[in-house]
Amino acid sequence: MATQDIQDQPQRRQTGPVPAPVSFDLSTAAASAVRRTTGMLLRHKLLIGTVIVLGTGIAGLVALRMTPLYTAQTLIMVEHRKNQVMNYQEVVSGLSTELGALQSEVAILKSPAFAEKVVDKLGLMNDPEFNAALRPEETNWFYYLNPKNWLPDSWWNTARGDRPQIALSPEEKTANEKTSVVNTFLENLAVRPQGRSYVIAVDFDSEDPRKAALIANTLGELYLVDQLDEKFKAAKRATAWLEERITELRREAKTTGEAAEKYRAESGLTNANGETTLIAQQLAELNTNYVLARTKRQEAEAKLREVTTLAQSPRGVSAIGDVLGSPLIQALRQQEVEVQRKIAEAANKYGARHPTLTALQSELRDLQRQIKSDVDRIVQNLGNDVELERGREAALKANLDQLQAQRNQQQESNVTLRTLERDAETSQTMYEAMLTRFQEIAGQTDIQQPDARIVSEAAIPLNPSQPDKKMIVLLALVASATLGVLLAMLREQSERGFRSPHQFEAATGVRSLGIVPAIGRRRRLGTSPAAYAIDRPMSAFAEAMQNLRTTLLLANPDGHQRVILFSSSVPGEGKSSIAAAFARICANSGQKTIILDCDMRRKGLHQMLGLENKRGLYEVLSGECAPNEVIQTDPRTGLHFIASGRGSALPQDMLGSSRMHQLISRLALEYDRVILDSPPVLAVSEGKLLAALADQTVFIVHWGKTKRETAMAGLKEIVEAGGEVVGVLFSQVDIRRHAQYEFPDSGRYHGYRRYYAN
């Protein structure tokens, strides 16, 4: 039946009816969680208490052994307002008050180079607080508590993979020693900006309060001196560079000026600023004359063309006289007109052949020849004038072209001159600017000021700042308590045994027969559990045996199942003690009871009952004795007992024989209770043979100790062997711890202690 229950258990979970939703109060669930947590803490209170005591105690010892440190603080404010004595630009600009600039100053204060200056100034190389080489070796007990001191340093270096140390020169050793001192100094230094202000707080920790104040103040002073020193160095570097640069610029300005003047003289230029030169003046004058000559030439040519044209026209001479405006021609023209009038009059008066007319005509011809001769001469003169003007114009043009070429060449030279003059002017300007800046820097050298000031010097601290022993102990208490709780939770999760029969019942389907309280060592000192159950009939242990007897009676109301086997998975689960105590309880209650020690390998049941083991079950099964010859009687309860015997044959052969079956059948007819004490089923095979012979099997599980897998494997062996497991009984239960769990039977026997007389 039990086997079927084990096999059907998962199937019932899958195919059974779906339970109705259960509503519960959140406060009830929270209260249950609190009770479970409290129970867990109470169950492991020894572990938690031990961790707390050890952790807090060690922290207290460490705090007592720690050297007190005193902290001195110097406040430095970065100046955000500048004192302008002279309106000169500084060589090194003032510090910016932005966060990045303040962090840069903090980095300077925390730099190894700056720390080395403080170490050198105060001679901290000779201070054992900073130079570990000057400290005496610790030889007290606290020194040996450090695991690092248990092994040589060479071993630790090998474990870390450090390379073997090479031989160092004295200078290198001194440098390494100083580096170590500087690192120790920096470990005790703390520099930070204070909020969003311009103030930097410099804190220093030291074993000596006066030393802490001295170092903090020295840090502030050296910081200001360092700023001034940097400004002086910058000014000195700028001055040296300016002196060299001024010398170069002076030489360059002189060279470029001389080159410009020399080129001006060689080129015949008055200046390079666009003023008129000699060639320009000559070119302007010559250009004017050329224009006048060309105009005259054009006028002469026009007049010549006009005279030539008129000379060929019908009007001829009369027009030329008017054009040329010649008095001679005009006079001859008047004479011609007068002679022509006289000829006309003579022709009218004398006729065509009159001598007077002939004389007048001859005079007219003479006048016309004279006029023509004068006109030809004038035209010739005009032609000469034209040629003359042309020649003059050509000469002026040639001179003009020559001067123009000279002017073009002069303009090219002028461009070069302007370049030289600009170079000279630039060199002169740079020289003057550098000279002015040099004078400014020379004037600033004596009025340099740092960009920060000390607003609060460090005072000698009166009380140590660390260690805060109360805080250390408090934190250790909290940490150890947390660690203890975590270890308790880990231990709780790592428990692999059953803590309640209900757990076993839920896992296997086997009913619970209750729990058997463990008997304290002081109470069972010098006695066995079987004797304790009789000596203290009102104890919780005796009550557990009575409860087991009652449960088995109710499970077998007709009384047919008389053979009861007590079995377990592994040794040490209290199976024999419970069997002996149960047998005595049954016999003491008036039931005719007999108990058989079937564990022929470990023969100890006779000692629990205070009887002998001269002859027993082995002798009966081997045929040496009859059952009546080996039965012993317990003088206190009248319990009958068959010991295991003294034989050494194979137990499995003896217990599986027909004589064993006959013996059990005979005893079942003669006694109300036949109790078999079986060996562990997982240790030897006899337990499975006995399970098949018994009417009922009580399976014993050591509370909280037997692994769940082991207990279930032992139960499976019994079921597969054909045993009828009536239930599981938990032995050696710590009722105090059991009461701290949230199981249905939690608190049994412990919660009602006034009912028992243990």
For residue 192, give the H/E element and its range: strand 189-193
**Residue 330 · residue 321 · CB < 8 Å:** yes
Distance between CA atoms of 577 and 583, rounded to whole angstroms? 10
Evaluate if residue 210 carries a pLDDT over 80.
yes
pLDDT digits (tens, 9 = 90+) for 139-180: 455 555 566 666 666 666 666 665 556 667 788 888 888 888
- The per-residue pLDDT for range 388-423, each reduced to its tens digit, is 888 887 887 888 777 777 777 766 767 776 777 777
**pLDDT confidence of 514, banded at 50, 70, 90?**
confident
Q: What is the mean pLDDT of the chain?
A: 77
- Four-CA torsion 562, 567, 573, 576, nearest 10 degrees: 50
Q: Is the pLDDT of residue 697 over 90?
A: yes
Please tell me the predicted confidence (pLDDT) of residue 670: 92
Domain 502-755 has CATH 3.40.50.720: no
Which of 143-152, 195-204, 468-477, 579-588 holds the top average pLDDT? 579-588
C-alpha span between 267 and 503 (Å, rounded): 123
Residue 734: predicted pLDDT = 77
Alpha-carbon distance values, 416 to 263, 275, 423 (Å)? 9, 16, 11
Half-sphere exposure of 380 (CA within 13 A, CB side): 6
Q: What is the dihedral of CA 324, 328, 331, 334, to 10 degrees?
A: -50
Q: For the chain, what are the domain ranges?
A: 278-447, 502-755
CB 727 within 8 A of CB 515: no
pTM over 0.75: no
Confidence at residue 565, expressed as pLDDT on a 0 to 100 scale: 94
pLDDT of residue 696: 92
pLDDT in tens, 727-756: 999 888 877 776 666 566 655 655 555 555
